[in-house]
Structure 1
Amino acid sequence: MLVLGIETSCDECSVAVVENGRKILSNVIATQIETHKPYSGVVPEIASRLHTEWIVGVYKQALVDAGIDQSQLDAVAVTNRPGLVGSLLVGVGFAKSLAATLGIPVIGIDHIRAHLYAPQLESEIAYPYLGLLVSGGHTMIAKVTSFDDFQVLGTTIDDACGEAFDKVAKFYGLGYPGGVIIDKLSKEGDPKAFNFPKPSLHKGNNRYNVSYSGLKNAVTNQIDQFWNREYEKTPANIAASFQRTAVDILLGRLKKAIQDTGLSTVVAGGGVAANSYLRQRLESWPQVEAYYPSLTLCTDNGAMVGGIAYHYLERGDRDGANLSAYSRVKAFRHTYP
């Protein structure tokens, strides 16, 4: 089964062809980073406009790279939630029109499920496992029992992890995208230069939730309170100390989930899954088997959409002409131990 996967949930315009949910025949990603860089973030109106301009060309290139004709496609899959509605609608509209023209099925795909499926494109991973989704818009720890069955154990109560990276980078004028720049800069700094605080969450009974607003405020507005004056107050030292604290907050909650569930397999997805410190820490844990996608598959991409869609289509799931876009996630099952 050849599935065309379309991803336009934010600022990447991507189209891929995936065979039987595993084999990537093509994965074209047109990034808008340079366009949004002057604003230190994604401008929704610009993003949707560029998707409109680029999607036909990206689609044609995906077919060329895959070495197929559009008549060979068996289905079209498209991210339809969550994300920027204007951007999502470009992909959904194109997907429905193409499917109708070719007389093949179309199916809408959840962006979060697709990210956590991405490592399956490169490694065959047995269920169940703990899923760690870390990106600019989402931070989640979940028990994953199948390609579409999740129990959300914990999530952020304010900023997403990647969002905190971007905001700190913007405050110090480090550049955009913040996560990549801070990761690179931190290699030149000392993570002990600042003892930034970790949140102590006492509200509710969820021991897996995380928070980044306090850390972000400490790094941007209260930095001298946490400065170890044996070190210089340099951008590299700030980056290294912030990155260590941000990742350790998340991994502390993940370690609790491993202990409580007894699951020793961790599958990470999303843009922050590319972070070198996060990968280093996960690889150092004994008795834990960690999987994360290659760097290309960490970012938003059509391959993860076409890959997971195969399993829905094989099950008989289909969408019709009423397929639409949604800015928020449809309900997951939540577990609060």
Structure 2
Amino acid sequence: MNLNLEKLRSDEGRYLLAIESSCDETAAAVIDRERHVLSNIVATQNELHERFGGVVPEIASRAHLERILPVIDEALRKANVTLAEIGAVAVTTHPGLVGSLLVGLTAAKTLALVLDVPLLAINHIEAHIYACRMAAGRDVFPAVGFVVSGGHSNLYDCRSPVEFELLGSTTDDAAGEAFDKVAQILGLEYPGGPQIEKIGSQGRPDAVNFPRPFLNEERLDFSFSGLKTAVLYAAKGTPGARIQPPPLTPQRVADLAASFQAAAVEVLVGKCEQALRKTGRSTLLVGGGVAANGVFRQSLAEMAHRRNVQLIIAEREHCTDNAAMGALGWELWERGMTSPLDLDVTPGLVRKR
């Protein structure tokens, strides 16, 4: 990257540079004022974490250090945009892994300082919901927003792109985490979500009647640890039990995957329906990695049709972690919601506004 610029503009930049490094994806995107994504570069770390069956924070942060500058450089090059044309830098600061977040924030602060442009703090969860606005190409608020990912299962009442009220969240495992752990139990590859969907398509979703936690309770919270344990017992037996489960043949694995997926999806969609009823909203926005699951998307569509509500799901390429959803920065910038250069990360924060 060439930082030897003679003149930098701080208030007329035509483009937003967004940076994302909250977990195990190093990403950068260039987005114009109309929310057109000119580039969206993502460097995945799946191969680094696969043998551990999950993300190792120290490995993730070291990989971000190696990849952050090449990814930003590639985003600018692919967008055919120079640093002189960048008007603001948006960066994910919460929630996420502290080491990973700090890598992105340090890069963003440096660019904002050198370019003398505004710095914008992005809430990773809210950005996942904003990906739905990107998919629609127009304003979609107010709405119920639902983020379903490896770290979060959060329902919000979204009054505007920057006004969110938390309605409910998981009390233990997030939905995506449960998918990964169940895949590990069944001997499937990491990441588990795509594998559960793939293998489950060959199984019977009614083969095992797994529990649907909290489905019939009014509170808008989730719990997937019990469901995960039920799959473990169905696959490998209950400790101390005399009767052992059937062997894990390929068909048995497919049946367990399909049955788990059916239970998880029923709970997720059921809670969306409850949230729509509770808030009276007529629009549902769904983002996050699990939103790429085809069974989930189809079940959401059927529920939305039945309730006559508008459903907007993020594009599949914007469901998993990426920087294009950092277009949320435009909403902050246009409202004057900029951040100082002493901004810090807040790894575990889920904001209530």
| TM-score calculated relative to the size of structure 1 | 0.93
Give the structure 1 partner of residue 329 of structure 2: 309
Please state if 1:190 is matched with 2:204: yes
Please state if 1:298 is matched with 2:316: no
Give the structure 2 partner of residue 256 of structure 1: 274
Offset at 1:288?
A: 2.5
Amino acid of the structure 2 residue aligned with 1:74: G
Give the structure 2 partner of residue 166 of structure 1: 180
Amino acid of the structure 2 residue aligned with 1:12: E
Cα-to-partner distance string for 1:203-226 (whole Å, 9 max, x where unaligned): xx952111111101100124568x
Offset at 1:330?
A: 4.5
After superposing on structure 2, the runs of 4+ consecutive aligned residues of structure 1 that deviate more than 6 Å are: none
In the aligned structure 1, how far is the partner of 2:125 from the partner of 2:281? 21
Structure 1: which 5+ residue stretches go unaligned? Answer: none
Please state if 1:19 is matched with 2:19: no
Offset at 1:126?
A: 2.7
Paired residue for 1:217, among 229, 249, 266?
229
Indicate conservation of the 8 Å contact 1:128/1:146, yes or no. yes
Indicate conservation of the 8 Å contact 2:180/2:190, yes or no. yes
Indicate conservation of the 8 Å contact 2:133/2:140, yes or no. no
Give the structure 1 partner of residue 157 of structure 2: 143
Q: CA RMSD in A?
A: 2.0
In the aligned structure 2, how far is the partner of 1:262 from the partner of 1:330? 23
Indicate conservation of the 8 Å contact 2:27/2:42, yes or no. yes
Paired residue for 1:244, among 247, 262, 269?
262
In the aligned structure 1, how far is the partner of 2:330 from the partner of 2:193? 31
Offset at 1:264?
A: 2.6
* Worse overlay, 312-321 or 42-51: 312-321
Structure 2: which 5+ residue stretches go unaligned? Answer: 1-13, 239-243
Indicate conservation of the 8 Å contact 1:195/1:228, yes or no. no
In the aligned structure 1, how far is the partner of 2:116 from the partner of 2:227? 51
Classify the secondary structure of the residue corresponding to 2:347. coil
Classify the secondary structure of the residue corresponding to 2:48. helix
Structure label with greater radius of gyration: 2
In the aligned structure 2, how far is the partner of 1:152 from the partner of 1:240? 30
Offset at 1:261?
A: 2.3
Offset at 1:325?
A: 1.1
Give the structure 2 partner of residue 48 of structure 1: 61
Give the structure 1 partner of residue 345 of structure 2: 325
Give the structure 1 partner of residue 122 of structure 2: 109
In the aligned structure 2, how far is the partner of 1:132 from the partner of 1:311? 19
* Worse overlay, 124-133 or 22-31: 124-133
Classify the secondary structure of the residue corresponding to 1:173. coil
- Would you say how many aligned residue pairs link Structure 1 and Structure 2? 328
Paired residue for 1:122, among 135, 151, 161?
135
Classify the secondary structure of the residue corresponding to 1:65. helix
Indicate conservation of the 8 Å contact 1:99/1:106, yes or no. yes
Give the structure 2 partner of residue 156 of structure 1: 170
Classify the secondary structure of the residue corresponding to 1:174. coil
In the aligned structure 2, how far is the partner of 1:200 from the partner of 1:44? 31
Offset at 1:119?
A: 1.4
* Worse overlay, 20-29 or 45-54: 20-29
In the aligned structure 2, how far is the partner of 1:184 from the partner of 1:289? 28
In the aligned structure 2, how far is the partner of 1:14 from the partner of 1:201? 36
In the aligned structure 1, how far is the partner of 2:339 from the partner of 2:269? 37
Q: Percent identity?
A: 45
Indicate conservation of the 8 Å contact 1:194/1:228, yes or no. no
| CA 1:54–1:174: 2 relative to 1, 3 Å | same
Please state if 1:134 is matched with 2:152: no
In the aligned structure 2, how far is the partner of 1:312 from the partner of 1:259? 29
Classify the secondary structure of the residue corresponding to 2:26. strand
Classify the secondary structure of the residue corresponding to 1:234. helix
| TM-score calculated relative to the size of structure 2 | 0.88
Cα-to-partner distance string for 1:98-126 (whole Å, 9 max, x where unaligned): 11111111111110111110111121243
Give the structure 2 partner of residue 8 of structure 1: 21
In the aligned structure 1, how far is the partner of 2:320 from the partner of 2:338? 26
Give the structure 1 partner of residue 11 of structure 2: none
